[in-house]
Amino acid sequence: MEEKENTVSTTQTRRCYDGRGREKFEAQSFGETQPNCEAGFRTSFNKKSRMNGSGASGDFDSKKYLLDCRSQIDQALDGYLDKRDPTPSLLNQAIRYSVLDGGKRFRPTLTLAVGELFGARRRALLPFACAIELIHCYSLIHDDLPALDNDDFRRGKLSCHKRFGEAIALLAGDALLTEAFFIMSDPRMARLLGVSLVPKLVREVSEASGVRGMIAGQSGELEVVKGRVTAGVLENLDHLKTGALIMTAARVGAIIGGAARKDLDRITRYAQALGLAFQITDDILDRDEVSGDKDDSKGLINYLSVAGPALAAARVEDLLQDCLREMQPYRGAAEPLRAMARYIALRTTPVVEEDGKFLSVVSSHNASL
């Protein structure tokens, strides 16, 4: 992308973060405006960050930053769904039910954090961040269907098909996927970002969400031969099924921010490690679903059941270090991205029991990062 397409200078970006979040993020009291936020976002970041050789700011308010991003994303999603052309009542209910009530907004927050690192304004980032979240929500609706994961609950409530029926759930997922591309292709985005940039971004998202990314991973998981699954096979599938959309969420932010090629490559490596850590910790959190029954397909394709708790914990620790290492050149400006990596790695601590002892995903040394 040409340099003139950058929307904010590097100096302006760093001033935002060197102000410890005060300049942009003092506007709301998130404890009052977001009473339903998950405990993970409230408790994982209540200790001040430490230097640990990463160049991270000592008093960056990670919790406040992440809650602010979530608040803005929720408001934007609500606005997009309200602005859609009238749809049949039940379908509209199913769409809003699946998108607006719950979710950490991890992927769109990643888009905002990476984009702001490279100087992009939230006005330019939010439409693509929301589009990525709609694609994620569509994938959850379809994943929960009886033909795939057959899950009755999602985000602490009935899954879409259990609440509205399978037919409406299928249509709601289809509608969300299509709506994502409707948002990204808005002519106003071309005027804001440049005519040449929007097709590039749409292609990035298409690649991640289709047969070259998420769908390939989901299909590959169905085709895995039971008894021949290795940790390496699962990692390849996870890079597609979960990691592709996470990686693209980060890359879209970097591209909108005008990141140089070496920075885009660095962000890509960071996001690849982050996406894999996300899926492994998800598997650990789903440990109660892992089954030894060879006739029970649910839970068998799981990193925890294949690699075991010790290796799963060690792999997440290595991935966390990969994320932190990639962010070192950006020093304090990248603290939101460090915070997101720590949150993912630490959300399962303590996590599993083996021989009567709990194993932590990260060591006590890394827990202070």
The string of pLDDT tens digits covering residues 242-277 is 889 999 999 999 999 999 999 999 999 999 999 999
Do the Cβ atoms of 271 and 241 come closer than 8 Å? no
- What average pLDDT does this structure show over 29-48? 28
CA–CA gap between residue 278 and residue 238 (Å, rounded): 9
What pLDDT was estimated at residue 186? 95
Report the candidate in 326, 337, 320 with the shortest Cα–Cα distance to residue 278.
320
Q: Domains along the chain?
A: 25-368 (1.10.600.10)
Do the Cβ atoms of 240 and 290 come closer than 8 Å? no
What pLDDT was estimated at residue 43? 28
CA–CA gap between residue 160 and residue 30 (Å, rounded): 28
Q: Among 13-27, 66-80, 163-177, 213-227, where is mean pLDDT lowest? A: 13-27
What pLDDT was estimated at residue 223? 80
Rg (CA), the chain: 20
Give the percent of the chain with pLDDT over 90.
Answer: 52
- Does pTM surpass 0.75? yes
What pLDDT was estimated at residue 119? 95
Label residues 233-246 b or e (16+ Cβ within 10 Å = b): bbbebbbbbbbbbb
- What average pLDDT does this structure show over 298-320? 82
Q: Which residue has the higher pLDDT, 345 or 55?
A: 345
Report the candidate in 198, 189, 275 with the shortest Cα–Cα distance to residue 238.
275
pLDDT at 315 over 90: yes
What pLDDT was estimated at residue 41? 27
pLDDT at 106 over 90: yes
Do the Cβ atoms of 63 and 41 come closer than 8 Å? yes
What pLDDT was estimated at residue 234? 84
Q: Band of the pLDDT at 292, cuts 50, 70, 90?
A: very low
Do the Cβ atoms of 224 and 241 come closer than 8 Å? no
C-alpha dihedral (290, 294, 298, 301), degrees to nearest 10: 70
Q: Which residue has the higher pLDDT, 360 or 368?
A: 360
CA–CA gap between residue 332 and residue 337 (Å, rounded): 10
What pLDDT was estimated at residue 233? 83
What pLDDT was estimated at residue 167? 96
3-state SS of the chain: helix, strand, coil percent to 5? 65, 5, 30
pLDDT at 28 over 70: no
pLDDT at 12 over 80: no
What pLDDT was estimated at residue 84? 57
pLDDT at 60 over 80: no
Q: Band of the pLDDT at 58, cuts 50, 70, 90?
A: low
Q: Which residues pair with 352 in a beta bridge?
A: 359
For 6, the token pair is 């950058």
